Amino acid sequence: MTATVSEGPSTSQVDAIGLRSVSYSYPGCDPFIKGCNLDLPRGSRCLLIGANGAGKTTLLQIVAGKYMVAQDSVRVLGRSPFYDLQLTCSGQLSYLGTSWRKDVAFAGYGVPLQGDISAGKMIFGVEGVDPLRRARLVEMLDIDLYQRITTMSDGQKRRVQICMGLLKPYEVLLLDEITVDLDVLGRLRLLDFFKQESEERGATIMYATHIFDGLEGWVTHLAYMEEGRIAKGYPITQVQDAAAAMNGTGKKLLHVVEDWLRVERETRLTRTAAAKAAGQTASTETTVRPQRTPYMPSKHLAFFR
Ligand SMILES: Nc1ncnc2c1ncn2[C@@H]1O[C@H](COP(=O)(O)OP(=O)(O)OP(=O)(O)O)[C@@H](O)[C@H]1O
Quick one: which atom of ligand 1 is closest to the CA of 59? 18
pLDDT band at 68 (very low <50, low <70, confident <90, very high): very high
The Cα 107–Cα 125 span in angstroms is 13
pLDDT band at 290 (very low <50, low <70, confident <90, very high): very low
Distances in whole angstroms, Cα of residue 175 to Cα of each of 52, 63, 223, 239, 301: 16, 11, 14, 23, 74
Q: What percent of the chain has pLDDT over 70?
A: 78
Tell me which of 22, 32, 67 to substitute to probe ligand 1's pocket, judged by most ligand atoms within 8 Å of the beta carbon: 32
Rounded distance from Cα 27 to ligand 1 centre (Å): 13
Calculate the CA dihedral of residues 29, 30, 32, 33 and round it to 10 degrees: 110
283 has pLDDT over 60: no
Which residue has a Cα nearest atom 6 of ligand 1?
26
Task: Please enumerate, as own/partner, the contacts of 251-258 that have beta carbons within 8 Å and a separation of 24 or more.
Answer: 252/212, 252/216, 253/212, 253/215, 253/216, 253/219, 254/212, 257/49, 257/212, 257/224
Stronger pLDDT, 37 or 71, i.e. the higher one: 37
251 has pLDDT over 50: yes
Write down the pLDDT at residue 61: 95
- Alpha helices (H) along 202-252: 240-246
Using DSSP, how many helices (H) and how many strands (E) does the chain show?
10, 9
Quick one: which atom of ligand 1 is closest to the CA of 210? 25
Query: Is the CB of residue 209 less than 8 Å from the CB of residue 49?
Result: yes
Rounded distance from Cα 57 to ligand 1 centre (Å): 7
Q: What is the mean pLDDT of the segment spanning 36-49? A: 95
Query: Is the CB of residue 119 less than 8 Å from the CB of residue 160?
Result: yes
34 has pLDDT over 80: yes
184 has pLDDT over 80: yes
Q: Is the dihedral of CA 210, 211, 216, 219 positive or negative?
A: negative
287 has pLDDT over 60: no
106 has pLDDT over 50: no
Looking at domain 43-68+83-263, its CATH class is alpha beta
115 has pLDDT over 80: no
Tell me which of 23, 36, 47, 58 to substitute to probe ligand 1's pocket, judged by most ligand atoms within 8 Å of the beta carbon: 58
Rounded distance from Cα 53 to ligand 1 centre (Å): 5
38 has pLDDT over 90: yes
Quick one: which atom of ligand 1 is closest to the CA of 54? 21
292 has pLDDT over 50: no
Sequence ranges of the domains in the chain: 43-68+83-263
Reported ipTM:
0.97
The Cα 242–Cα 250 span in angstroms is 8
Task: Please enumerate in sequence order all residues whose Cβ is within 8 A of that of 287, keeping only pairs 6 or more positions apart, or say none.
Answer: none
Rounded distance from Cα 58 to ligand 1 centre (Å): 6
DSSP-assigned letters across all residues of 88-107? HHTTSEEEE-S-HHHHHHHT
The Cα 167–Cα 162 span in angstroms is 9
Task: Please enumerate in sequence order all residues whose Cβ is within 8 A of that of 288, keeping only pairs 6 or more positions apart, or say none.
Answer: none
Q: Give residue ranges with CB within 6 A of ligand 1.
A: 26, 29, 32, 50, 52-58
Quick one: which atom of ligand 1 is closest to the CA of 208? 22
Q: What percent of the chain has pLDDT over 90?
A: 56
